[in-house]
Structure 1
Amino acid sequence: MAINVVLVEPEIPQNTGNIARTCAATGANLHLVKPLGFSVDDRYLKRAGLDYWDKVNIKYYDSFSELREKYKDHTFYFSTTKAQNLYTDVKYTEDCFIVFGKETAGLPEELLVENREWCIRIPMKSDIRSLNLSNSVAVVVFEALRQNNFAGLAPCGKLTRYTW
C-alpha cells in the first residue's frame, strides 16, 4: 500500500521535514506543490527530516492542477478544518492521495467546494483554529494505514539489548 501525501504550498520547513520523516517511516509518497515557502536546501528542513531523505519518494509540481491531471484516476481526499466528514468516516484506498494546504490558509475554498464529498477533518474544539500540519498529516496517514492493516509496515520493533 502506498499512501500519497500532498502538501499544497507548504510554508514552514520544519513541518515539511517532519512530514517527510513520517512518509519515510510509513512508505508514503510525498508530493510537494509549488510555490514552496522555503528552499529545499533549507537547514531546518533537512534537520527535521534527519537522515531519512534518501528513504522518501518526493515529487514536485508547479501547480495542483498538474498533479491532479497526472493522477486523474486516483481518489483524492482534502483535509480541512471546514469539512463535514471526519477523517475516520471515509475508506482509504490503496494509492489514494491525501491533500493538505499551507499552514497559514489551508486549501483554497474553491477547491474544497468543488470536492465537498471528499473533504475530511480531524475533530477538535471549536475555539482552536487548527492542529500543526505535521501532526495532522500523521493522524490521517496512520488512520489510512490502520484501515488497511498497516500493509507493508514492520510487524514488530526490535529491542536493542533484549529480545521479545
Structure 2
Amino acid sequence: MTNHIVLYQPEIPQNTGNIARTCVGTNTHLHLIRPLGFSVDDKHLKRAGCDYWDDLNVHYYDDVHEFFAQNPVEEIYYIETFGTEPYHKMNYNTGKDIYLMFGRESTGIPKEVIEQYGGAERCVLIPQSDKVRSLNLSNTAAIVIYEVLRQQDFAPLRG
C-alpha cells in the first residue's frame, strides 16, 4: 500500500517544493500533471524542497488522461472546497493505494475531470470559515496526508 499526492497543474513553485518535502518525510509519491506554472529547476521550488528533491519519488504526466492511463487508481479523493464530505470522515485504511488529488491554486480541479474519473462523491473538503476562499495548497496537502497516515497507524514512519 502506497500513498500518493497528485498535483493537477500546480502554479506556485514554493507550494510544490513544500509538498515535495512533505512527501519525502511521509514516504508519499508525488505526481505532477502538466502544464506546471514553473520549471522544476526553479530556484523557489529548489529552496522549498532542495535538500529533499533527490529523495523524492516523483512522476510527471503531460495531462490528466496520461496520469489515469498509467496509474490503476482504485482509491482517489479530490480535495476541493465544494467537496461534500469532510476529509477526516473518509476511510483511508483500505489496504489499497490512496491517491489525493489537489487542483491548481487559482482554479482547482475541473469538474469534468472529477466526473470522468470517480465522480463528485470522491470530493472531500477541509472544514474552514467563510472568511477565506481556500487554504494554502501545501498546508492542505499536509493536513490530509497526515490524516491518511493517522488512520494507517503511521506505518511505516518512525515516531
TM-score band (shorter)?
Answer: over 0.9
Deviations 1:99-157 (A, max 9, x none): 000101111022234511111000001231000000000000000000000011012xx
Q: Which residue of 1 aligns with 2:109?
A: 107
Which position in structure 2 is the counterpart of 1:39?
A: 39
Counterpart in the other structure of 1:90: 90
Residue segments in structure 1 that go unaligned for 5+ positions in a row: 156-164
Unaligned stretches of 5+ residues in structure 2: none
| TM-score, normalised via structure 1 length | 0.90
Aligned residue for 1:160?
Answer: none
Q: Which amino acid aligns with 1:104?
A: S
> Paired residues, what number?
155
Q: Aligned letter for 2:12?
A: I
1:52-71 matches, within 5 Å, as 52-71=52-71
Percent same amino acid at aligned positions? 48
Cα distance between partner residues in 2 of 1:112 and 1:136: 18
Deviates more, 1:78-87 or 1:104-113: 104-113
The structure with more radius of gyration: 1
SS at match of 1:124: coil
Distance 1:105 1:86, change over 3 A: same
Question: What CA distance in whole angstroms lies between the structure 1 residues aligned with 2:103 and 2:155?
Answer: 26
Higher mean C-alpha deviation, range 31-40 or range 72-81: 72-81
Which stretches of structure 1, 4 residues or more, deviate above 4 A after TM superposition?
Answer: none
Which residue identity is paired with 1:86?
A: P
Shift of residue 72 of structure 1?
3.1
Give the residue type in structure 1 aligned to 2:26. Answer: T
Cα distance 1:73–1:14, how it changes in 2: closer, same or farther (>3 A)? closer
Name the TM-score, length of structure 2 as normaliser: 0.93
Q: Supply the AA of the counterpart residue of 1:134.
A: S
More divergent stretch after superposition (47-56 vs 89-98): 89-98
- Does the residue aligned with 2:77 lie in a helix, a strand or coil? strand
